[in-house]
Structures are given as C-alpha cells and as structure tokens.
Amino acid sequence: MRHKYLNLKKENKELFNELVFNKHIFKEEKQLSEKLFYFSFGEFGCESIIPTFLIPRINNNFKEYRKIVVGWQGREYFYRDVCDEFWEIDNEFMSLKDRSHAFENHSTEIASLEKRLSNLGIVINGNKMGNLCLTCRCAACSHEFPRDRGDVYCPKCNSVKIIKSLIQGCKDYKNNIYPLPQINQKYIDFADELIPEKSVALFARNRKTYGRNLPKYFYNDVINLLTDFGYKVVLLGEVSSSYNIDNDKIINLMNHKYVGNLEAAFAVVKKCDFSLQFYTASTRISSLLNKPFVLVESPEQMFGRGQEGFRLSLMTKKYSDKKLVVSNFVDVVDNFSEFLTMLKDAVIDFIVNKNSEDVFFRPNDMLLAQSQKYKENIW
C-alpha cells in the first residue's frame, strides 16, 4: 500500500515536495481510537534502543491508543511486535538519513511531517525519546528529572532513592531488554543458502554527515587480511550510508535485493561467526543476537562525551562478546599499515584465544585510566 502524506512548500530545491510511505498494518483498527505516533528517524545506534527499551516503556502509559511508528525503509522487523502500524518511508527519501543526529532528524521534511501528524494524535519525536534515556525518577515523590551519570538525588525532595535513567542504569537494564521478533524463516533460509561456514560480516561506513569514513582501499586490505585468515567476508549495510565495494573475494549484499532489509541483515549476521565494523553502530545487530563483534571506535565515543559507550553496554549482554579496538580516526588514517597489523592481531586474539580485553592504538595514560573507570562503571 502506498500512501501520500504532506505537501511541502518548495522553499529551496533540496526539499521533497511530498513524502511517501508504505504502511504495514499489524493489527486492524477495531474502533476509533486516539493515535500515538513514534518518530524514528535517528541514527541506527540510537534507533535500536527504541523497540527494545523505549517503546515498550512508553506503551504502558498509552494502553488505549493506536500506536504507529513512522520510520526508515527496511526497519519493519524492529517494530512488528511493539506497535499496531509501521509507516515505512519510501526508498527515494532515504537521503533524509543525512540529517539524522542521535535520536533526532533535522530535516525540514520530518519537522513538517511532525506538525502535520500532531493534528491527528500525540507525537513522540526523536528529541523526546532521546531525553527519556536520561530521565531518572524519584522513588519517594515520583518527580522525573534528567541525569546521565554521577551520584543522583532528587532536586525536589532531596531523596537519594532514585530509579536510574536508562543510560545510568545500563548495567541492570540490559537484562530486561524487550525481545525482538523471531526472524522469519524466509530470511533464515536465505542466509543458510548464501552464507558458508566461517564467514564474517563486514560493515563499511560511508556517512554523508560527520565524515569518519575510511577510504575504500582500506576495506580491500581488511578483506585480504580476513580472507588470508580463512574467512569469507560478507559485505552488509544500507545504500544511503555504506560503501559498495567491488571485490570478487566477498559475498556482496550491497548488490542484493535485500540490501537495507534489517531482518535479512539479522539472519546473515546470525549465520556469521562474528562481525567487524569501524566507527559505526552496526554492532547492535550482533549485540541483539548475542554474537561476537569487533568494533573500532574512538576514545571520545566510548569513554568521553559521546554516549556510545553507555549505549553499547546497554545493548550488549556479555562483556566477553566484544572486542573493542580503541583508536582515533586520524591515527588510523595516518598509520594504515601499522593499524592493520594491530587489527589482525586483535581479531586473531579475540576469535582464537577468546581474549575480549580492549586494545588501544596509540594509547596514553589518561586514556587507559578512563577506560578502566568506564569498565567498572558500566559493564
């Protein structure tokens, strides 16, 4: 079913005149009920928290409402069990992903859509969902207030009996994750047929915003490294934010009709021994499947102001399921061959020797101290 919504005024050439959605109806509407719209137009790493923690929590407060998630193409799998309808934006508008920042989307088109749907029901937008990750509640007086880390007391009644925010309490909350649906047999069969034993899923970030994209030739070196080690490399990702790499050693899902289909990606990662990614949150797929993964990420994202460290912990049950290679993007770019040698050692140590301790490229004392504190606090 294709439905057209929203006629935008063409203020400049980059704006879309209209947005088109494919509607997935999970439950037929029985009677006229009030509507609740969830907006899920953020980055993937944040989005993964929406069906697993945020929507189940918010749904409890809106039992009588008809719940509708409005979001990206290919994400139906995430929302099948937590809402009544999923409105999937058409592929031609996926370039709006370039305007994603954490849970939010800064495009005029999504802002207009929100305005429009606000007339039809309550809209829970990305900003509200982002804030909810940081909201604590006082057990004594029920006052809610934002706090992400550190010691907490209620600003209203000074009580120290505080129900932690999602981010702050990630260690505990991870054990109560709302489960994703079973993967459809059609995709399991697809993965069984396509993916041989001893495969590794590779994600090659190519975001238009924020940079931090490694050059394509770097990925060819990584593919050689894994192939020499006896692995079949499976390239995954979304067209709007990942490289398509022309390399005849790999199984390339970037050319497959299931590209960008999240449920197919889950089935493929499930079949692989582990996944490998650089500066991207595709780790969530492995995390949610309890599969091992190797992540190259910057210290700022893991231990600094970026909340990726908290989010990663929230979504990853076992510390030993992951290998973190902590490295600044510029250090990698400036020292490719040195970095590759280190990466190879780290992958072998993780997969063969099951050593999940973090490794650091160009470490310093401050970084090592930060990482120790991080480990104690949130794992």
- Please report, for residues 40, 89, 284, the alpha-carbon distance to residue 109 in angstroms, rounded to integers and kept in the order given: 14, 12, 27
Site stretch for Zn ion (CB under 5 A), options 53-61, 77-85, 150-158, 366-374: 150-158
User: How many chain residues touch Zn ion (CB under 5 A)?
Assistant: 8
**Nearest distance from C-beta of residue 154 to Zn ion, angstroms:** 3
Q: How far apart are the first and last CA of the chain?
A: 44
Which of 124, 154, 254, 269 lies at the binding interface for Zn ion (CB under 5 A)? 154
Q: Which of 123, 138, 253, 267 binds Zn ion (CB under 5 A)?
A: 138
| CA proximity to 189, closest of 252, 235, 258 | 258
- HEC profile for 83-116? CCEEEEECHHHHHHHHHEECCEECCHHHHHHHHH
Closest CA to 315 of 48, 126, 131, 102: 48
Task: Show the 3-state SS of 149-177.
Answer: CCCCCCCCCCCCCEECCCCCCHHHHHHHC
Closer CB to Zn ion, residue 6 or residue 163? 163
Question: Given the rule CB under 5 A, which of 105-113, 134-142, 257-265, 347-355 is the region that contacts Zn ion?
Answer: 134-142
Stretch that binds Zn ion, among 67-75, 139-147, 230-238, 249-257 (CB under 5 A): 139-147
What is the strand order of the sheet 144-146 is part of? 144-146, 135-138, 162-163
141 binds Zn ion (CB under 5 A): yes
Contact pattern for Zn ion over residues 46 through 65, marking x by CB under 5 A: --------------------
Stretch of residues binding Zn ion (CB under 5 A), selected from 21-29, 45-53, 151-159, 266-274: 151-159
> 4 or 161, CB closer to Zn ion?
161
Q: Which residue, 143 or 164, is less far from Zn ion as judged by CB?
A: 143
Identify the bridge partners of residue 37 per DSSP, sorted by sequence position.
68, 123
Q: Which is nearer to Zn ion, 17 or 158 (CB)?
A: 158
Helix 185-194 crosses helix 262-271 at what angle (to 10 degrees)? 50
Sole binder of Zn ion in the list 59, 95, 127, 159 (CB under 5 A): 159
> Pattern 87-126, binding to Zn ion, x per CB under 5 A?
----------------------------------------
> What is the Cα–Cα distance from 66 to 85, expressed in whole angstroms?
8
Interacting stretch for Zn ion, rule CB under 5 A, among 30-38, 146-154, 161-169, 269-277?
146-154
Q: Is 143 in the site for Zn ion (CB under 5 A)?
A: yes
Is residue 261 within 8 Å of residue 186, measured between CB atoms?
no
| 41, 103 Cβ separation under 8 angstroms | no
Least distance from Zn ion to the Cβ atom of residue 150, Å = 17
Is residue 16 a contact partner of residue 6, using CB atoms and an 8 Å limit?
Answer: no
Min dist CB 157 to Zn ion, Å, is 3
What residues make contact with Zn ion under the rule CB under 5 A?
A: 138, 140-141, 143, 154, 156-157, 159
